Chains A and B, each alone.
Chain A
Amino acid sequence: MNQSLPKRRRSRDTYWYDFRTHWQLYLMLLLPVAYIILFAYVPMGGASIAFKDFQIRKGIWGSPWVGLRHFTNFLNTPNFELLLRNTIILSGYSLLATFPMPILLALAINEASSARYRKSVQMITYLPYFISTVVMVGMMMNFFSLRAGFVNAVVERMGGTAVNFMGEPKIFRHMYVWSGVWQSTGYGAVIYIAALAGVDQSNVEAAVIDGAGRFRRVWYIDLPTIMPTIIIQLILAMGSIMSIGFEKVFLMQNPINLDVSEIISTFVYKRGLTQFQYSYASAVGLLNSIVNLVLIVLANQFAARVGNTSLF
């Protein structure tokens, strides 16, 4: 009796037992797992071409190894510094400007007293989320165009000289970032509004009785309530610094602003898929993925230590 008990427990703890009792759940997982392996893990293995001299005839596995040649090549070109700087500045600036706005908006919406007003503001601010990147950049080119845009019409009417908003390299980053703020603030606020619904009302009542004004209630009750959500969002944002969207930057690029608008992902695309330097482009992409992984792990550890919240 004494011996059979731990033995039985062990036999129940095996994956074979798990499979026999839950084979239907295993069956459900079959397709998703197959998808993840094929489209996420196989390419991770395929990234080994970064260490090879890829030739189409020989395929990924047959091409000869060249070690770190592509990496050292990339690190030794002037491109490297430029691309890294452009990627980090654009992404960091974007994070700084885009991150706080949804929190502010959510706190403000939450404070408005009429439910209808709150719902309307939420709906309006959410609308730009439905605008595609192509349409967004198309609208910007239209509004800010040098000859026909209405922004320059206003500038000229007020006595200024027309500015080439979409061409001028100095303005590129501001255009990119603030159009992003315009488009993403409302969508970003949804998650904080949802989190604010979790504010403990008895705390609010106690605070009112103690004479706390609105500002103090926001500061001492609302903010701490949504702090875990803020931290999780921040970790995720940190993790995406190096994977800053290809789509919008690529559309906003033109020959004049390339010095500030060329980032790692657009460079990988051009080298890899228009000039067919598969191995070189893969090496650059892989370097980017690794930096990205390091960033998100660091952000996570920092949050775990400072804020007692972490993603994993």
Chain B
Amino acid sequence: MSNRSAVKLYRTPTDHLYMVLVYTLTILISVVILVPMIFVVAASFSSPDALMAGQVFLWPVEFNIRGYKMVLEHKMLVTGFQNTLIYAGAGTVINVVLTILAAYPLSRRDLKIRNPVMFLFAFTMLFSGGMIPLYLLVKNIGILNTRWSMLLPNAMSVWNVIITRTYFQSNIPGEMLESANIDGCDDFRFLWKIAIPLSVPIIAVNVLLYAVGHWNTYFNALIYLNDNALYPLQLVLRDILIQDDTAGISMDVTKQLEQQRLRYLLQYSTIVVATVPVALLYPFVQKYFVSGIMIGAIKG
């Protein structure tokens, strides 16, 4: 921070122009990002009529929570929400456990098998068998159209293993392991009692990346599931937001108009309900994020 005070002492004429540019750019980007998001939230709390009339911009018009009531009454949405909670919860636990189990041994320079295993892992980032062989495998091991197909095929990301390994390497001094070994501490105990407690930032980063990944993806569900009752939230959202699912709509014209009128409201409320839970993770993890990414991804 000392440079920032030094900077104030000396300014060339172009510095002013430069700072104008810096602030213009950051403010412009912030506004462009915020406006659509504020609009969605404002629209979700507005009345369907105000929405249809295009009166809503950045503040709710005729405030009401009808959209959110519709979300709660939408059976598929509620099921999807529950399924996603299961997939994201169980999936993240599996992900983090496997990632730590892989990353810790790979961080040990005294382990001879470390390089071959690292190569085995890293190669999968460069080359893959493709979508169809993986699908056939999932089918052959009998987990197609089960909850396991949402958890096992992406049980671990090699990228996360690499940043976690780098973090272990640069944050846990070798002397600590030596003295623990002299005191009779074995590798399991060392990992559990010393390495993990010292690595909270990188574990938090892992939780965030994996959980957001599970919450937001629909691809695996699209190819592995065909039972509606197992669908995660994103597939249900796809029906509501993109395919304009009008199944079950009656032939009654007035009713149809009413449905049309409510559809936008339902869409906005759904967007908010689907996005807020993951966004809530961010403040908890934010304090670790930059330090975790920095040590994990850059020193490596």
Residues of A within 8 A of B (CB): 13, 15, 17-19, 22, 24-26, 28-29, 31-33, 35-36, 38-47, 49, 60, 104-105, 108-109, 111-113, 117, 120-121, 123-135, 137-139, 141-143, 148, 150, 153, 182, 185-186, 190-191, 193-195, 197-198, 201, 204-205, 208, 211, 213-215, 229, 239, 246-247, 251, 265, 268-269, 272-273, 278, 281-282, 285-286, 288-290, 292-293, 296-297, 312
A286 engages B241 (CB within 8 Å): no
State which of B67-75, B251-259, B274-282 sits at the interface with chain A: B274-282
Chain A residues near B36 (CB-CB < 8 A): 139, 143
Smallest beta-carbon distance B33→chain A, Å: 6
Smallest beta-carbon distance B150→chain A, Å: 13
Chain A residues near B187 (CB-CB < 8 A): 22, 24-25, 28
Interface of B is mostly: helix
Q: Does B34 touch A at the CB level, under 8 Å?
A: yes
Chain B residues near A104 (CB-CB < 8 A): 25
A205 to B1, CA, bound (A): 11
Task: Using A148-B52, A268-B130 as known contacts, list a sample of 15 further A-B pairs with CB atoms less than 8 Å apart, ordered by residue number in A.
Answer: A33-B102, A43-B136, A111-B22, A112-B23, A121-B26, A123-B282, A124-B30, A137-B242, A139-B40, A150-B54, A185-B29, A213-B12, A214-B18, A229-B298, A282-B133
A191 engages B297 (CB within 8 Å): yes
Chain B residues near A29 (CB-CB < 8 A): 101-102, 105-106, 113, 117
With contacts A24-B188, A195-B298, A247-B218 taken as known, whether A47 is within 8 angstroms of B18 at the C-beta atoms is no
A185 to B32, CA, bound (A): 12
With contacts A121-B30, A205-B6, A213-B15 taken as known, whether A190 is within 8 angstroms of B289 at the C-beta atoms is yes
A286 engages B130 (CB within 8 Å): yes
A183 to B187, CA, bound (A): 42
Q: Identify the 9 closest CB pairs spanning chains A and B, nearest first.
A: A138-B241, A285-B130, A43-B129, A46-B133, A132-B216, A32-B102, A194-B294, A213-B12, A18-B112
A152 to B70, CA, bound (A): 27
A53 to B147, CA, bound (A): 31
A198 to B3, CA, bound (A): 13
Smallest beta-carbon distance B101→chain A, Å: 5
Task: Show 23 residue pairs from A and B whose CB-CB distance is below 8 angstroms, ordered by the A residue.
Answer: A15-B113, A18-B113, A25-B104, A38-B137, A39-B137, A39-B153, A44-B127, A46-B134, A49-B136, A112-B22, A113-B4, A125-B30, A134-B242, A135-B241, A142-B268, A150-B39, A190-B293, A204-B3, A213-B18, A214-B7, A215-B14, A239-B126, A289-B130
A19 to B122, CA, bound (A): 22
A-contacting residues, B253-300, CB 8 Å: 264, 267-268, 271, 274-275, 278-279, 282, 286, 289-291, 293-294, 297-298
Chain A residues near B121 (CB-CB < 8 A): 32, 36
Smallest beta-carbon distance B278→chain A, Å: 5
A206 to B223, CA, bound (A): 58
Chain A residues near B215 (CB-CB < 8 A): 132
- The residue in chain A whose Cβ has the minimal distance to the Cβ of B272 is A135
Chain A residues near B26 (CB-CB < 8 A): 105, 108-109, 112, 117, 121
Interface of A is mostly: helix
A194 engages B19 (CB within 8 Å): no
Residues of B within 8 A of A (CB): 2-4, 6-12, 14-15, 18-19, 21-23, 25-26, 29-30, 32-34, 36-37, 39-40, 52, 54, 98-99, 101-102, 104-106, 108, 110-113, 117, 120-122, 124-137, 141, 152-156, 158, 161, 186-188, 191, 212, 215-219, 223, 234, 237-238, 240-242, 264, 267-268, 271, 274-275, 278-279, 282, 286, 289-291, 293-294, 297-298
With contacts A25-B187, A269-B131 taken as known, whether A138 is within 8 angstroms of B271 at the C-beta atoms is yes
A201 engages B3 (CB within 8 Å): yes
Chain B residues near A17 (CB-CB < 8 A): 112
A43 engages B133 (CB within 8 Å): yes
- The residue in chain A whose Cβ has the minimal distance to the Cβ of B235 is A134
A28 touches which of B127, B135, B191, B241 (Cβ 8 Å): B191
Chain B residues near A191 (CB-CB < 8 A): 293, 297-298
A47 to B131, CA, bound (A): 9
A38 to B294, CA, bound (A): 32
A137 touches which of B2, B110, B241 (Cβ 8 Å): B241
B131 engages A268 (CB within 8 Å): yes
- The residue in chain A whose Cβ has the minimal distance to the Cβ of B292 is A194
A310 to B298, CA, bound (A): 13
Smallest beta-carbon distance A209→chain B, Å: 8
B294 engages A282 (CB within 8 Å): no
With contacts A112-B26, A191-B293 taken as known, whether A285 is within 8 angstroms of B131 at the C-beta atoms is yes
A141 to B268, CA, bound (A): 12
Chain B residues near A36 (CB-CB < 8 A): 120-121, 124, 156, 158
B23 engages A25 (CB within 8 Å): no
